[in-house]
Amino acid sequence: MGSKCNLDCTYCYYLEKEQLYPAAENFRMKPAVLEKYVRDYIAAQPGPIVTFAWQGGEPTLAGLDFFQRAVELQKAHAGGRKIENAFQTNGTLLDDAWAEFFARENFLVGISIDGPAALHDTYRVDKGGRASFDRVMAGLTLLKKHGVEFNTLTTVHRRNATAPLEVYRFLRSVGSGYIQFIPIVERNAAADSTDGLWLAPPPEADDSDGLDQQVTEWTVRPIDYGNFLCRIFDEWVQRDVGKVFVQHFDAALANWVGQPAGVCIFSQDCGRGLAIEQNGDLYSCDHY
């Protein structure tokens, strides 16, 4: 669905990407593009396991029938390989039909949630500015009801960065066994742009305007982010090793023992996280 989403999270850098595509674009990947993607992606993989990662925007907006067809195509083109699916969602549109499908097809579902209600609802609101926490938790409850494997993705921003243990203990309490943290760091453009995009790209080497760009008010402060990870690590290492997996800690350990980090920003080489848009455009990273 490209950048289409039913939420309007304050810090979302991706929503404005809708302006990069024609106004007439309906943003739902067309059947021919889907089939070509599935076929070519499987054929391009070097190993016996092929993992598809479905993201958005909000991928549930494509409809359950879209993903039922995607699974049919995967099975048709698998060629003896094992197919795995990961699905990142805000959880607000999930129902029993979605959860039954995820359970039946063994999808790993990532739920985007920023902590307990007061912290989550600071920035994660819908198009009407209404809180989304209760709807996210309802979706998570359905996943648990149907035995769907899930993990959580939490952005670390100006508000929740100062409450690390509150966030971590909440995620642990809802049953998240694998936790991802993403720091929110966004820069405003120095002046109005002609393309309507207000977030600043990385400055060029000779771009003096880059000196005038400021981070957004929800950007996490460096000291807060460091304290956030350190406080959580101190609790995790004392009681949760082997029971709760925190992506940053796993990556640090992997680097320490000479193994691949498993996270692009901690890897020696960049560019393996390809992102295909709903119309077939291909990027070396979703941030590009």
DSSP assignments along 196-215, one per residue: S--BPPPPPTT-GGGGG--B
Pairing of strands 275-276, 282-283: antiparallel
Helix (H/G/I), strand (E/B), else coil: 90 = coil
Clarify whether 65 is annotated catalytic.
no
Element (H, E) at 278: none
| 160 CB-contact burial (10 Å; exposed 0-12 / middle 13-18 / buried 19+) | buried
CA–CA–CA angle 135, 140, 142 (5° rounding):
100
Q: Are 58 and 4 in contact (CB under 8 A)?
A: yes
Whose CA is closest to 29, among 8, 3, 9?
3
State both tokens at 248: 């940053």
Residue 155 near residue 182, CB atoms below 8 Å: yes
Q: How many CB atoms are located within 10 Å of the residue 200 CB? A: 21
Calculate the alpha carbon distances from 119 to 83, 126, 214 in Å: 36, 15, 24
114 half-sphere exposure, CB direction, 13 A CA radius: 26
- Name the region of 262 (left: φ>0; alpha: ψ -120 to 50; beta: rest): left
Single out the catalytic residue among 8, 126, 250, 286. 286
How many Å apart are CA 62 and CA 33, to the nearest integer?
Answer: 14
Catalytic annotation, residues: 286
